[in-house]
C-alpha cells in the first residue's frame, strides 16, 4: 500500500486561472502527472511545472477521444505504479464531470482519492454575467440538468423552470430546439426569459438574451459554440432591467 499513489480529482473552475482554489493551484504547480479534460483553459495548464507530463483526454459531444472506462483505467494504472495523479476537470468534478464514476472505480481498485472541488460552470458563468441564480424577488429554486443526456424527450422536466425557479442547462447548445420544444410542451411560457453564456469567465465571453421560443434561433443566428450554458428563468432578465433603470437615472 505504501507504493500506491493518490488520485487528486481537481476542479479547474469555469476557465479563469484566478478562480482556481488555492489547493488546486498548489497541486497543479507540484504535480508530475496531470490528466486533463479538453475544456481546461490553456492558461491553467500553463501553471504546471515544467517537467510535468500532461495527458489530454478531451471529449466532444458523441465522440470521446478516450472512453471513460479507459480514463478510469489510466488513473488506476498510474496510481498502482506509485505515481500521484492530478485529474483536472473543468468546473466542479461532481457536477456533470463524471467524477463520481472515477472515484468509484479508483476506490474499488484500492486507490486513494482526494476530491478538490472547483467553482462550477453554472456558478462561474452566472457570476461573470452578473445573473443571480437565486433572488428574493425572482427565484428560490435552482435546478441543473444536462441537455444532451440519453432519453431527453422521455424525461419529465415539468416544474424545473417557471415562476420562482431558475433552470441551468449544461451541454445544451446542440439540442436547443429540442430543449425549447420540451419545456414549452411541459408547460413553460414561450416568453420566459433565457440567457446563453458562452465562454464564461474568459475574455471572449458572450452573454446573449432572448425568450424560450426564440432559443433555437438565438443559438443558430449567433453561432453559439461550446462551452456554453443556457439559463432559463426570470433572473436572466433582471440585469437588463437594472441597466435600463441606471440609464434612465443618468439621463434624467
- Please identify every residue annotated as catalytic: 37, 59
Distance, in Å, from the CA atom of 96 to the CA atom of 249, rounded to the nearest integer, reads: 42
Contact call for residues 165 and 143 (beta carbons, < 8 A):
yes
Backbone angles phi, psi at 39, to 5 degrees: -85, 0
SS3 label, residue 196: strand
Alpha helices in the chain (DSSP H): 22-30, 42-45, 68-80, 99-108, 121-129, 176-185, 215-221, 235-251
Distance, in Å, from the CA atom of 37 to the CA atom of 21, rounded to the nearest integer, reads: 18
Residue 226's nearest CA partner among 248, 190, 196, 195 is: 196
Helix (H) or strand (E) holding 121: helix 121-129
Q: Write out the three cell numbers for 162.
A: 417557471
For the stretch 141-156, what's the b/e string if a residue is b when 16 or more beta carbons lie within 10 angstroms of its beta carbon? ebbbbebbeeebeeee
Q: What is the Cα 150 distance to its own chain's centre? A: 18
Q: Write out the three cell numbers for 250.
A: 443618468
Amino acid at each position: 500500500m505504501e507504493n500506491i499513489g493518490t488520485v487528486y480529482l481537481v476542479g479547474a473552475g469555469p476557465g479563469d486561472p484566478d478562480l482556481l482554489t488555492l489547493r488546486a493551484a498548489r497541486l497543479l504547480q507540484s504535480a508530475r502527472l496531470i490528466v486533463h479534460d479538453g475544456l481546461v483553459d490553456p492558461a491553467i495548464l500553463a501553471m504546471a511545472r515544467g517537467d510535468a507530463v500532461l495527458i489530454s483526454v478531451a471529449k466532444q459531444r458523441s465522440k470521446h477521444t478516450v472512453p471513460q472506462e479507459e480514463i478510469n483505467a489510466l488513473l488506476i494504472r498510474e496510481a498502482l505504479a506509485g505515481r500521484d495523479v492530478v485529474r483536472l476537470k473543468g468546473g466542479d468534478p461532481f457536477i456533470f464531470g463524471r467524477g463520481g464514476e472515477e472515484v468509484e472505480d479508483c476506490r474499488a481498485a484500492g486507490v486513494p482519492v482526494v476530491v478538490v472541488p472547483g467553482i462550477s460552470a453554472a456558478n462561474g458563468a452566472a457570476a461573470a454575467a452578473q445573473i443571480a441564480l437565486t433572488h428574493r424577488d425572482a427565484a428560490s429554486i435552482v435546478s441543473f440538468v444536462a441537455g444532451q443526456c440519453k432519453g431527453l424527450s422521455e424525461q419529465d422536466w415539468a416544474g424545473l423552470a417557471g415562476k420562482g425557479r431558475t433552470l441551468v442547462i449544461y451541454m445544451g447548445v446542440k439540442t436547443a430546439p429540442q430543449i425549447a420544444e420540451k419545456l414549452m410542451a411541459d408547460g413553460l411560457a414561450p416568453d420566459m426569459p433565457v440567457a446563453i453564456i458562452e465562454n464564461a469567465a474568459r475574455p471572449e465571453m458572450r452573454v446573449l438574451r432572448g425568450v424560450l421560443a426564440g432559443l433555437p434561433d438565438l443559438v443558430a443566428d449567433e453561432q453559439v459554440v461550446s462551452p456554453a450554458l443556457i439559463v432559463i428563468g426570470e433572473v436572466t432578465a433582471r440585469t437588463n432591467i437594472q441597466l435600463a433603470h441606471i440609464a434612465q437615472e443618468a439621463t434624467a
